[in-house]
Amino acid sequence: TFLPLMVGRAIMGIGCGFGLAIDPMYIAEISPPSCRGMMVSCSEIGINVGITLGFASYGLRADIAWRCMLLVGGIFPVAMLFLIAFVMPESPRWLITRDRVAEAEDVLRSVNPEGHDVAKTVSEIEVDLARDQQSVWMYFHRDPGHLRLLVLGLLTPVVQQLCGVNVIQYLLVFVLEQSHVEGTGSQLACLMILGVVKTLYNIWGGQLLDLYGRRPMMLFSCAGMSLALVALAFLFQSTESPPWLAMSALSAYFCFFSLGMGPGAWLLPSEVFPTRVRGSAMSLATTLHLIVSSLLITYALSMTNFIGWSASFMVLAGFTVLSFVFFYVLLPESKGESLEDMHLLFSASAKSSEN
């Protein structure tokens, strides 16, 4: 019946909210700086695998499709429970905050390359924690760089949603219908192509964030998404555009999203916040992300009915251009930096901007 479904969905939503906040933060805290982008992107890759499996259910009979989605959603958490209990180590930074330094050293030895200076890393974490003993307000108020860090970390997941990715994903069947892709079989094939492409490009995007850096990839991603959304807007002005053109523009949008904004929107907040407030700040960033996502998804179809698909894509393109400006102004390059040095990076960036 309806009530048990809603209760179960609410419980599942709480679990997903915890996962969105904890997954990237935990991975960032146990990953070496040289491959942190690729490692944290695994969280976004997992989300896209789930989205693609959801697309696959579109070809099933309506009365069993949703049951299959729920069944698949129950398999992976069981595997994760096993990994959490028997494989995953505790975060070394959390252990140090609890004065369990010896355990933290063991974890750092196990997750870093041989020869890594564990004692130096432990010392840097302890210094970072000691520096953050003042009130959270004073920490962010005393230095413009720290305030920039706070704004970037909290708003990056929100900016991701303003670029329209969840709106387009939730309304993708409507978009395909408006693009003259007719028939369940054809629509299913398009959904699977887009889901697989988006997942594969997320894997590549995580590697590029480590290879070329956060700043260039986020700017490249925003610029590419803007162009793809403008192309979609022009295509939807015509009633005679062939379906393959819309599919090409959609594929380009998801590719550009996955090369930067997709994994980067969770990588940046997971690495910029200071250790003492990282958990609380990630929770707040995730909450803002989910609130904006819910509002956009709730009113997106009404917006398309009111102003049309073409104008809706132009609105999303406008938000994406603003996202480019947001990252251009606030985001310094953090590739290869330790979590404990992020405050120095943002302070130096703020001072150079003032000069």
Question: Which tens digit of pLDDT belongs to each residue from 14-38?
Answer: 888 888 899 999 999 999 888 999 9
What pLDDT is stored for residue 132 in this prediction?
61
Q: What is the separation of C-alpha 46 from the centre of its chain, rounded to a whole number of angstroms?
A: 11
What pLDDT is stored for residue 53 in this prediction?
86
Quote the percentage of the chain above a pLDDT of 90.
Answer: 55
What pLDDT is stored for residue 133 in this prediction?
62
Mean local confidence (pLDDT), 335-349 = 84
Mean local confidence (pLDDT), 139-149 = 73
What pLDDT is stored for residue 116 in this prediction?
85
Of 175-179, 224-228, 318-322, the least confident: 175-179
Question: Would you list the DSSP string of 252-266?
Answer: HHHHHIIIIIHHHHH
Mean local confidence (pLDDT), 124-138 = 70
**Residues sharing a CB contact under 8 Å with residue 36, sequence separation 6 or more, in sequence order:** 27, 28, 210, 267, 271
Mean local confidence (pLDDT), 179-199 = 91
Say if residue 138's pLDDT is above 60.
no
What pLDDT is stored for residue 74 in this prediction?
76
229-255 pLDDT, tens digit each = 999 999 998 777 888 999 999 999 999
Residue that wins the pLDDT comparison between 232 and 133: 232
How many residues are present in the chain? 355
Mean local confidence (pLDDT), 345-353 = 74
249-304 pLDDT, tens digit each = 999 999 999 999 999 999 999 999 888 888 889 999 999 999 999 999 999 989 99
Residue that wins the pLDDT comparison between 67 and 163: 163
Q: How many CA atoms lie within 13 A of 88 on its CB side?
A: 15
Average pLDDT of every residue of the chain? 88
Which tokens hold the place of 29?
Answer: 């805290």
For the full predicted model, state whether its pTM sits above 0.95. no
What pLDDT is stored for residue 351 in this prediction?
67
CB distance 36 to 210 below 8 Å? yes
Which tokens hold the place of 21?
Answer: 């906040």
How many CB atoms are closer than 10 A to CB 321? Answer: 17
What pLDDT is stored for residue 140 in this prediction?
61
Mean local confidence (pLDDT), 111-127 = 87
Q: Of 174, 172, 181, 188, which is closest to residue 53 (Cα–Cα)?
A: 188
Q: Cα–Cα distance between 292 and 265 in angstroms, integer?
A: 14
Of 43-57, 75-89, 185-199, 298-312, the least confident: 75-89
Say if residue 145's pLDDT is above 90.
no
What pLDDT is stored for residue 239 in this prediction?
75
CB distance 228 to 164 below 8 Å? no
What pLDDT is stored for residue 72 in this prediction?
77
Say if residue 184's pLDDT is above 90.
no
